[in-house]
Amino acid sequence: MKNYHTVAFDLDGTLTDPKRGLTSAFAYGLRKVGVKFDNVESLKKFIGPPLRDSFRDEYGLSEECADDALMLFREYFGVYGWWDNELYPGIHELLSSLKAAGKTLVLATSKPEVYSSKILKLFGLSDYFDFAEGASFDSSREKKCDVLDYALSKVGIVTPEEKQGVVLVGDTRFDIEGAVICGVDSIGVTYGYGNEDELLREGATYIAKDVKEIGEILLGFASQTSD
């Protein structure tokens, strides 16, 4: 396996499980704009894609109404949703092992930085990352490839040759698609909100079924994960 010098991580579904907070915020936004949905559990399918696209495309909302739903989502998420979250077992041990091995770590999440930074601090993950900003509120940096390119540029990785030593770890097809567009390898994880078939279909370089397997791929041995 390649010896990657830089590892980029998605956040939702990869480092943390955001289901409770995100689905509650989705439900709040939908109810406030008068959209009916089956149940809160059914909204977990929206974890991963850009939020505005989900509101617009899934429910046929106009651009204006989708923007309203997104604003309402953020109204709830900014107070209640961001902390209603769980860290996946073994993440601290994995990140610690990667840093000890001299890897550069960056965060590449479509979640706005105002939320992602709070979540990293909540779980004590901030110090592992060399760069950890998320997407922008103005949608100028929202797609995974844009977020990834921006994060990599901040640690001095710009050229195709430099990107040969980069791998993105993410759980949905949007993560893998972004990696392919940016010209980097990827590890698709199946413990989050994607599935192996779609990750492979989008071109995932590797598949990891749990956090331990990420360590095996990146370090050649199992990181010391807790059960």
116 vs 22: CA distance, rounded Å: 13
User: Is-contact 217 206, C-beta < 8 A?
Assistant: yes
3-state secondary structure of 91: helix
What is the DSSP code string of 11-39? Answer: -BTTTEE-HHHHHHHHHHHHHHTT---S-
Which phi and psi angles does 147 have, rounded to 5°?
-65, -45
71 vs 63: CA distance, rounded Å: 12
Residue numbers annotated as active site: 10
Q: How many CB atoms lie within 10 A of CB 225?
A: 19
Place of tokens 């990891």: 208
Q: Report the candidate in 167, 191, 169, 8 with the shortest Cα–Cα distance to residue 88.
A: 191
Q: Report the candidate in 31, 16, 23 with the shortest Cα–Cα distance to residue 51.
A: 23
User: Is-contact 223 94, C-beta < 8 A?
Assistant: yes
Half-sphere exposure of 59 (CA within 13 A, CB side): 26
